[in-house]
Structure 1
Amino acid sequence: MARILIVEDEPAMQIGLKDNLEFDGYSVEVASDGQTGLDKILTNEYDLVVLDVMLPSLSGFDVCKQARKEGNDTPIILLTARGEEIDKVLGLELGADDYMTKPFSVRELLARIKANLRRSSKSQSSNSDTIKIGNLQIQFDAYKAYTQSNEEVKLSHKEFEILKYLHENKGKVVSRYDLLENIWGYEDDQPTTRTVDNFIARLRHKVEVDHNSPEVILTVHGSGYKMIV
C-alpha cells in the first residue's frame, strides 16, 4: 500500500483529499502547515507528497526546496490556486515532479498520483549499473551521481529522469514534447517547453566540461536534444 502525505491548510480540502485517497486504497497522513510537512517528509518515508503552495510557516515552494536540498527525492505534486506560468516553472525547477492548479477534479489528481508512483517505481527497479555520462558517474536505481573524483553531485528527481530518458534514447533526437509527455506525463505543451530548456541548462552545468560548448547533450535546432556518450 503506497503511503502518501498531504500538506494542506484548508480543512475541507484536507479532509476531502484524505477521504478520496484512502477510498482509493492509499495510506494517508496529513499536515496543516509547511514546517510540519517538511519535518514529516524528512523524518518519515512516503511514496508521494501532495503539497499545497500557499501554506502557513513555510510555503510549498520552500518545503520542496528544502526537501530536495536535504537529498529527499520523494515524488512531489504541487497544488495551488495560482495559474501563472512563472509559478509552474518555479515549482518544477525547485524539484517538484508535477503541478496541479485549483480547482481540479479528484479523478485527475488520482491519475497524476498513479502516474508518478508508476514512474518512480519503474525508475527504482531498473538500471542498477553505474553509467558514465559526461563528467558524472550515474546510478539511476539509487538516484546517485558522482564526479570522476567520487564526490557526490546533487541532482533532483526530475534531473535523474531526464538524464535517464536521454540516455535510453542516446544518439536519437528527443523533442521537448517527448520529454514533457514522458517525464511530466503531459500530452501537450504543458507546463511549457521553456521548463524543459531550463532543466537541460542546469544539467549541462553538471555533466559538461564546458556548459557553453556542450558535447554530451546537444541542441538540435528546431527539433530538440540529443545525447552523445
Structure 2
Amino acid sequence: MPDTQGLVLVAEDDPSIAELERAYLSRAGFGVHVERDGGAAWEAIQRLRPVLLVLDVALPSIDGVELCRRLRGASDWTPVIFVTARGEEIDRLIGLELGADDYLAKPFSPRELVARVKAVLRRTAMTPRGHEAPVLEVGAVRLDPTRRLVLAKGEPLELTAKEFDLLHALMEHPGRVFTRSQLLSAVWGQVEYASSRTVDVHVAQLRAKLGDASPLRTVRGVGYAADS
C-alpha cells in the first residue's frame, strides 16, 4: 500500500517492537522511518519532517521525553505519541504535560497504535502547527485539547486517553447528535475489535467521572450528544 497518509517516524530500540510498529503502520498507508537511538531520531526529525512521532520513552543517547522537550522548546508541535514499558501515573502525566498527544504502555496491540495515530492526526489536523487548539466549554465542563486537561466545576479530572478523545469529539459540536458508528470512526478509527458497546461503556465511565456536571445526553435509538 502506498504511503498516502504521510511519514511517521518511529523511535524504538527494541527491534521486534519496531518492526511490528513499522509493519502495521505501513499496512495502514503510512510511510515509516525507524530509528533505534534518540540522537539519530533527532537528526531524522529535522531532516524528514514527519507528520507524527512514535517515541519510546527509554531510548539510548537521548530519551523520548527529552526529544519531546526539545521539539516543544523549538515551538515544533509535530504530534507525539509516547510508547513505554513504564505504567506509573507519574510517567504518563509528565509525558502529557510536555505536550505529548497520547501515551501507550507496553504491551499494546499494534492495531491500537494505528488507531491512536489516526485519531491524533485527525485531531491535530484542525489546529495549525504552533498554535494552540481553542479551549472548549459546555456547561460546567471545560476541556483544553492542547494540554489534554478537563475541569468539571473547576475540579481537574483524570481521564483515560479514549475517554478524553470521546469527550473532545462530543464537546467540539455541542448539541449535535452523533451515532455510535460516527464516534467509533472519530475516536477509535473504526478498529475492527471496537463495537457500539465500546462507546456505551466509555460514555458510562465519563458520566461517572463528570458526575452532575456531565453534559452528555443519550438520544434513544441514535447515539449521544453534549448539551450545555
- The structure 1 residue matched to 2:70, chosen from 63, 66, 71, is 66
Shift of 1:142: 5.2
Determine whether 1:55 maps to 2:59: yes
- Is the Cα contact below 8 Å between 1:42 and 1:72 reproduced in 2? no
Which range is displaced more, 87-96 or 37-46?
Answer: 37-46
- The structure 2 residue matched to 1:180, chosen from 146, 164, 188, is 164
Alpha carbons of structure 1 residues 65 and 142: separation in structure 2 relative to 1, 3 Å: closer
Shift of 1:183: 5.0
Correspondence for 1:165: 135
- The structure 2 residue matched to 1:89, chosen from 87, 93, 96, is 93
Correspondence for 2:40: 36
Shift of 1:165: 3.4
Q: Aligned partners of 1:183, 1:37: CA distance in 2, in Å?
A: 31
Number of residue-to-residue matches in the alignment: 158
**RMSD between aligned alpha carbons?**
2.9
**TM-score between both structures, scaled by the size of structure 1:** 0.61
Q: Aligned partners of 1:18, 1:77: CA distance in 2, in Å?
A: 14
- Is the Cα contact below 8 Å between 2:77 and 2:129 reproduced in 1? no
- Is the Cα contact below 8 Å between 1:41 and 1:67 reproduced in 2? no
Alpha carbons of structure 1 residues 21 and 93: separation in structure 2 relative to 1, 3 Å: same
- Is the Cα contact below 8 Å between 2:10 and 2:55 reproduced in 1? yes
Correspondence for 2:226: none
Q: Which runs of 5+ in 2 are unaligned?
A: 143-149, 151-156, 170-186, 189-201, 215-228
**TM-score between both structures, scaled by the size of structure 2:** 0.61
Determine whether 1:143 maps to 2:110: no
- Is the Cα contact below 8 Å between 1:7 and 1:32 reproduced in 2? yes
1:1-229 alignment runs, 5 A limit: 1=4, 2-123=6-127, 141=128, 143-144=130-131, 160-161=132-133, 164-166=134-136, 169=137, 172-175=139-142, 176=150, 180-181=164-165, 182=167, 187=202, 223=213
Q: Aligned partners of 2:116, 2:35: CA distance in 1, in Å?
A: 21
Shift of 1:37: 1.1
Identity fraction in percent: 37
The SS at the match of 1:68 is: helix
Alpha carbons of structure 1 residues 96 and 183: separation in structure 2 relative to 1, 3 Å: farther
4+ aligned runs moved over 6 Å, structure 1: none
Q: Aligned partner of 1:143: which letter?
A: G
Shift of 1:180: 2.4
